[in-house]
Structure 1
Amino acid sequence: MTTVTPGDVWTLRWDGTDLATAMVVQAHDSFAVVWPVTSASHSSPPALAINDEHRALGAALWPTRPTGIGNHLFGTRLGTLLSQDAIDIISDEMEDPEAQLTILPLATGAYDADADRALLISGTAIASIPGCRLASTGCAMSSQAPRIWPLPSTSTSCRHVTTGTASRH
């Protein structure tokens, strides 16, 4: 049995194909809540920049795009990015419009509406995989799955970002 621990980064795999990379935020018996991890090519705000020490795990973390997945989608554990305390702090910071980001900084660059929209749409792509029902017990999958969000090259409330400035709503 695979142990799924908050803060760990995993590849998400279906039918032998890596679909995405994500960090576990909450682990349950048969499912987990994850935040997408993406490459430098998909690291614009509202993503958070992953520090150099952990860059091998990916370039950006998307706490504004939590996604529930069945534990059977976990492929390879890549390493630990954050502690449970850090996850809790980031969650609180993303909820509070007055909070300063203290764990990971906002990704640099201009807000990329297309990338943000793609992650919003692709975060729900798991539920659209044929034979998949996202529920409190996770997903039951029965056919080929599409790529969920861009893989790193090494393989709730939203913070809304407009060009050059960050705000939360």
Structure 2
Amino acid sequence: MTIWQRLRQIIIGLVLFPVGILLMLFGGEVYTLIIGLYSLALEIYGVRKVWYFIRMARFMTGGRRILYRGILAFDFGIFAGSLVWVPQIYILLYLTGTMAFSGLVDILRAKESKDIDGPWKMKTFQGATEIGVAVLCVLFLRTPDYVVEIFAVGLIFSAVMRILSAFRRTPVIMID
């Protein structure tokens, strides 16, 4: 992990931690703020990827995938921004779905890392915990207060894991 990737992980962790605390303290009153931040982050990520494609990735192998990822992220950002006016239960379902997807991606990355004899245990634990939090949110969907608390704990856990993984030493793996 490069210094910039470590710094990015720390910044994301430092943003997620207060969001989780705000959710625990104020519950449903901060949905608009959280959805706004989430939407803005996805839109910025999408624009960055499209800009990267325009400037450099169109000449690379697999560059179109970067373009598609950017367009898709921007589209999800616009969709997330439109969720401000829908009932809170749908917002919770959307956020829970993104958390479950993030956990699945972490588990798949850990499996890939294990296949090349890299560090995999921390990512597997993080992915399994995120999927577990998403399942708990779906199980308690009838009581939104519990779901908000469970989701807030999941966000705080994710923030701590991101910060810890940024400070972890990672060996350089040579692929023959």
TM-score band (shorter)?
Answer: under 0.3
TM-score (norm 2): 0.27
Structure with higher helix content: 2
Higher relative contact order (CA 8 A, sep 6+): 2
Which structure's CA Rg is the greater one?
2
Scaled by the length of structure 1, the TM-score of the pair is 0.28
Larger strand fraction of residues: 1
